[in-house]
Structure 1
Amino acid sequence: MNYVSVENVAKSFGERVLFEDISFGINQDQKIGFVAKNGTGKTSLLHIMAGLETPDSGQVVSRKGLTISFLQQEPDLNPDLTVEETIFASDNPIMNTINAYEKALLNMEDTEAYQQAFDAMEAAQAWDFETQYKQILSKLKLDQLDRKVGLLSGGQKKRLALAAMLLEKPDLVILDEPTNHLDLEMIEWLEEYFKRESLTIFMVTHDRYFLENVCNEIVELDHGKLYSYKGNYAYYLENKEARMANEATETAKAKILYKKELDWMRRQPKARTTKSKSRIDDFYEIKERAHQRRNDHEVQLEINMERMGSKILEFHKVGKSFGDLKLLDKFDYVFKTGERVGIIGKNGTGKTTFLNIMTGALQPDAGKVIVGDTVKFGYYTQKGIEIKEGQKVIDVIKSFGDHIPLKKGRTISAGQLLERFLFDRKKQYDFVEKLSGGERKRLYLCTVFIQNPNFLILDEPTNDLDVVTLNVLENFLLDFPGCLVVVSHDRYFMDKIVDHLFVFKGNAQISDFPGNYSDYRAYEGNLNFSNEEDAPAGRAGGFAKAEHLKTTSQKTENESTDSKSWKEKQHTGALTYNEQKEYKKLEREVAQLERDKAKKQEVFLNPDLTPEEIAIHSQELQALIDKKEEKEMRWMELMEKMEG
């Protein structure tokens, strides 16, 4: 059953065309992830679908009687209402019935009113809904029901809007970055909720595990065209790569044919036959295909990192509290060269406070933090870039200098650096306040890397970044030789780049876990399953569990051995922890080499190659093949050891 049809929709801002002639449909029970680069109009399209913006042309047609709820990045809530009043300010009649019953419970002396409220609950079969309503509020940590919306943080407002949307039980939900401002436990709960509920979903999210586990279709807006993939995120990646390879092959063939037809055109006399006129028409079509060019520039990240000394960063019995809230207590840790730490935990357990103490922005109450003389921090905060009225993109970078030093004594102009971060010459003279959320984050990344840090601290770096930029950032961080500390709710991102975790459990309890996020959840799930009779299948919830993990502030040899020995055994046979890391790295490297080989093979489709160029490319291709085979052999060795 068709719910919504988007028909030939277009949207521009001045001379800037976001999209034009966009058409697609949403059917009942579809869960669609919408993927596009930052600045191509994802949020604008969602606003048009939700009726908050008007397209320049085209229309959105909804099925009669369809209820639609839209979760915006910055929800528009009444600041004068309380949390509870916001929840009950819904068109859902069951919510009104529950509200009346809750009020009747407060005045049990009025037995007639209570009986009426009770009977209404029975008639509406609202008891299960009440249980669900309380569960949703609990999972999203909305416990202060009498608190005014105007006093809530941005994250609390987003969670409140999400709770209200889920409780409205709409036919279609439209979501703009639903996982922003949720901690990992909330994200996993929401993921399971969407998987089991019979909801129709159209969403934009940077969370690739969320796309993988929730969506049954991916729709991509790429260079003004829509492409639909009937599967999850992994299916989309595989088939997009195949589509792009096919497009490159077809363009190469068209170029060869174009050259042949161009010679024919030049030889023809002025008088044309009907047959030759038809061939001439075909020629112009071939010419258009041959000159198609993808503007697929990737962000190019390069820094001139200063060499680190032997002393990097040390915590000695560090303590920090805010009133009765204790966040750190006698915390000890010595960072080593190349350290790659992920930080996870519930909101309010002290993650950002910890980062601020690292950089000296906040002083500890007790203990000391020693920073090595050669350490140069690059700190990417949640606040993002400071927007100054009337400031242009180019001015932000020029504040660091007209020319920026790179590796090996080279320099680059401010404009050239911005081009590497996907800001073309025209975009560089846009006002910063007019940039999309993702474009601002990309500009902020540029300002962090331009200072050439050797110790990167990233606090929620993935929010609002598109999938393409995320992949480039991840590949850069994999090769980054300095130290890296990341706070992120992006599980895919954490799994790819960190080697171990600091798990903030609250009340100054910090566990050092030897593995990435998925390793930790699998370990935690094993503990829950063995210790709890009613443990659910699959993921088990809660950062408060797995209490015998090694605690950094109270280290014991047995606890440390327990978590590390699990890490070495989990799903990897006889592989050691370092071999597991090597195995995962080899998988990535082999896949990249396969892509490099395919690109190099496409070079030979060029008919204008000279014999010398063919010889050079042949040598480079053979080098790629040899390197790939070498890594595949090592990967096979580890595979055999694992299975043995």
Structure 2
Amino acid sequence: METSAALLSVENIDKSYGTLVLFENLSFGINQGQKMALIAKNGTGKTSLLEIIAGADQPDAGQVVKRNDVKVGYLPQEPNLDPQLTVEESIFAADNETLQVINRYEKALNNPEDTEVYQKAFDQMEALQAWDFETTYKQILSKLKLDDLSQKVSDLSGGQRKRLALTNLILDRPDLLILDEPTNHLDLEMIEWLEDYLKSENLTLFMVTHDRYFLDRVCNHIIELDDQKLYSYKGNYAYYVEHRANRMETEATNLAKAKQLYKSELDWMRRQPKARTTKSKSRIENFDDIKERATNRRKEHKVSLEINMERLGSKVIELHKISKAYGEKELFSNFEYVFKRQERIGIIGKNGTGKSTFLNILTGQEEPDSGKVIIGETIKIGYYTQGGIKIKPEQKVIDVIREFGDYIPLKKGQKISAQQLLERFLFDRKKQYDFVEKLSGGERKRLYLCTVLIQNPNFLILDEPTNDLDIITLNVLEQFLLDFPGCLIVVSHDRYFMDKIVDHLFVFENEDISDFPGNYSDYRAYKKLEQEEAYAKPKAEKKVQEKPKTTEVTLTYQEQKQYKRLESDIKKLESQKAKLEAKFLEDLNPEKIKELSIDLQKIESDIEEKTEKWFELSMKSES
């Protein structure tokens, strides 16, 4: 629920780099309790705006005003951590209020005569629940797969460093969290954990992310920076999509009206009336304004490439009992699969389960330990890897494409020039002559994607293609892939992207690959049902074998209170769940069904969590 308490105000700020104007006269506020996201194209200054708000950069003009007591926490895409520290040392080296309170409490314990100082330190420990700090940070690190607390920061990957910085930020409990692409380098399980945390915590949030499910489930306010203008939407991503479409439709209508008015005014101007009355002078002065409105076309291009793809033969790719291990760690063994024409497969699994290795074997970059890969004669593989584009010194954008030729063959004997191709991938003529090293991370990824697609592959493999791409580009890419007539394999943690593009999944888990018949949302629903059945079984067995309760004897006083409270909470949640499920029998619109589904998912998650804790205390009481 939004309140009127403004934590921070952005007032008329400008930012430029040389002749490149990112934004001008930008103003908006972030209120307490808002969970706000910024949507904009790559290269329009999203990261610059976040850095200005976080105090890491200054605007050219205007100011950012925040309340004196507001503590801001910022997660950049590339965090700055001391490489000499271990993971655990990095936690204790952070400028963290809870750690400061713990230090004051430990000093007070060494000076017991000063009861006033001790009482104050004790009260602060209570207020921040600092007693559980060690348990808390270890739980968060475990969720983010940073289990080796003694590992040096210098030995961590870029993704692991970002996860460590995220842990520090969560532990610091700032009043305002500023997050730049927080889901990058997180696997699906980590993303869903972070999603639940940000959704359930009472905090204020401002972030940039391309993860549309994340936006939909976490955010309650979206601002869009479009053509240096700011538009505000008081709702989640689904609300934004609907109301942006309405805005675009209104703009198109107004543009058509402006063009019609411009045409009539132009005819009048050409007649050059001799009588210059006050009224006609006013009309002449207004002409320039009418002309500007009539010629204000949107610079939006769509990727519309009917590439002359080579025909797929009857044999695509066959995998015969392939296995791969690194030392004692087995990734998968005796996996068999025969790819069919026009298949669309998604690959999911935790980090380190062998997804990228599998793709490298498929493309011949690595050999399996056993088994063989047979590739059909007509197959031409296009492989988009996480490595990205290799930048050559002094190379311009247009030169990257021209390495593949000046023209690309299209269907029906047509062809498209390298310049036209880049325009369709949202690089205007001016941008095409920029040096590649000047491009933003997202623009480089878009250029790299373009170089893969223009080679006319009929078997396309995309390994995390959505990282660093803005939402506008993602929509463009999705449209291209939906029309792509060849085979497609996608590895992505972008659930929205996967649901839209793929028909079935290869699931990497437990040193095995299984073929799941559905998209990612179908898979999560299946896993949820599987977990519920797993919890229900021991619960049913316990009722049969129930022994007299001895909680008063073996549980501490606090545990007894928690045990009884959990029983009460579970009953209330079960009742809420039943009422919510009954609402699905009513005649509901799709938006309401989606809203109720999210609420039901949260209640079911709470029931699982509390039931698990109840079992722990129950087992302890009987031991």
Tell me the TM-score normalised to structure 2 length. 0.80
Letter in 1 for 2:53: M
- Alignment correspondent of 1:90: 94
CA distance in 2, matches of 1:443, 1:260: 43
CA distance in 2, matches of 1:189, 1:481: 36
Helix, strand or coil: the match of 1:532? helix
SS in 2 for 1:328: strand
> Contact 2:262 / 2:291 at 8 angstroms: preserved in 1?
yes
Aligned counterpart in structure 1 of residue 152 of structure 2, from 144, 148, 153:
148
Specify the code of the residue in structure 1 equivalent to 2:352: G
Structure 1 segments, 4+ long, off by >4 Å, are 96-103, 116-124
Contact 1:528/1:535 (8 A) holds in 2: no
> Whole-Å Cα distance in 1 between the matches of residues 245 and 411 of structure 2?
32
Please tell me whether the aligned partners of residues 308 and 410 of structure 2 are also in contact (alpha carbons under 8 angstroms).
Answer: yes
Q: Does 1:455 align with 2:421?
A: no
CA distance in structure 2 between the aligned counterparts of 1:331 and 1:294, rounded to whole angstroms: 50
Confirm or deny that 1:499 pairs with 2:503.
yes
Distance 1:183 1:334 in 2: 27
Deviation of 1:182 (Å): 0.2
Out of 523, 527, 543, the position equivalent to 1:524 is 527
Letter in 2 for 1:147: Q
Give the deviation of 1:404 after TM superposition: 2.2
Summarize the Cα distance change of 1:445–1:144 in structure 2 as closer, same or farther, 3 Å threshold: same
1:66: Cα distance to partner? 1.4
The gaps in structure 1 that reach 5 residues or longer are: 104-115, 537-586, 588-644
Structure 1, 520-529 or 80-89: larger mean CA deviation = 80-89
Q: 1:151 to 1:99 in 2, by over 3 A?
A: farther
Q: Please list the CA deviations of residues 179-228 of structure 1 after superposition, one character each: whole Å capped at 9, or x if unmatched.
A: 00000000001001011111111111100000100110110011110000
**Partners of 1:533 and 1:129 in 2: CA distance:** 33
- Answer whether contact 2:8 2:64 (CA < 8 A) is retained: yes
Structure 1 counterpart of 2:111: none
Matches within 5 A, 1:380-529: 380-506=384-510, 508-529=511-532
Which residue does the alignment assign to 1:174?
Answer: 178
Indicate whether 1:205 and 2:209 are aligned.
Answer: yes
Aligned equivalent of 2:601: none
Report deviation, 1:517. Answer: 0.3
Q: What corresponds to 2:196 in structure 1?
A: 192
The match for 2:13 among 9, 12, 15 is: 9
Task: Quote how far apart the aligned CAs of 1:18 are.
Answer: 1.4
Which blocks of at least 5 consecutive residues in structure 2 are unaligned? 108-119, 540-589, 591-623
Distance 1:44 1:121 in 2: 37
Alpha-carbon contact 2:97-2:172 (below 8 Å) kept: no
Distance in 2 separating the partners of 1:153 and 1:441: 20
Please give the secondary structure, in 2, of the residue aligned with 1:79: coil
SS at match of 1:246: helix
User: How far apart, CA to CA, are the structure 2 residues paired with 1:129 and 1:151?
Assistant: 25
2:324–2:331 contact (8 Å) kept in structure 1: yes
Deviation at 1:499, TM superposition (A): 0.8
Task: Compute the displacement of 1:78 (Å).
Answer: 1.1
Aligned equivalent of 2:379: 375
Match of 1:61 among 46, 58, 65: 65
Match of 1:18 among 2, 15, 22: 22
Q: Are the structure 2 counterparts of residues 300 and 90 from structure 1 closer, same or farther at C-alpha, using a change threshold of 3 Å? A: same
Deviation at 1:275, TM superposition (A): 3.1
Task: Tell me if structure 2 keeps the 8 A contact 1:499–1:516.
Answer: yes
Aligned to 1:242, the other structure's residue is in SS state: helix
TM-score, reference length from structure 1: 0.78
Preserved CA contact (<8 Å) 1:88 1:99: no
Indicate the residue corresponding to 2:218 in structure 1. Answer: 214
1:364 corresponds to: 368
Find the aligned partners of 1:95 and 1:509 in 2 and give their Cα distance: 42
SS of match in other structure, 2:73? strand
Question: Against the structure 1 CA distance between its residues 164 and 256, is the aligned structure 2 distance closer, same or farther, given a 3 Å change threshold?
Answer: same
User: Residues 243 and 95 of structure 1: is their aligned pair in 2 closer, same or farther, counting only changes over 3 Å?
Assistant: same
Q: 1:47: how far off?
A: 1.4
- The 3 A distance-change label for structure 1 pair 396 and 534 is farther
Are 1:281 and 2:308 an aligned pair? no
Aligned pair count reads 525
- 1:59-102: per-residue Cα shift (whole Å, max 9, x none)? 21121121111111111111111111111223323234558999
| SS of match in other structure, 2:37 | strand
**Cα gap change, 1:220 to 1:14, in 2 (>3 Å):** same
Greater Cα offset, 405-414 or 216-225: 405-414
Question: 1:593 — aligned with what?
Answer: none
Q: Distance in 1 between matches of 2:429 and 2:292?
A: 26
Report the CA distance between 1:124 and its aligned residue: 5.5
| Matched residue SS, 1:252 | helix
Q: Displacement of 1:353 after TM fit?
A: 0.3
- Distance in 1 (CA, whole Å) between partners of 2:294 and 2:408 is 38
Shift of 1:280: 3.1
CA distance in 2, matches of 1:219, 1:453: 38
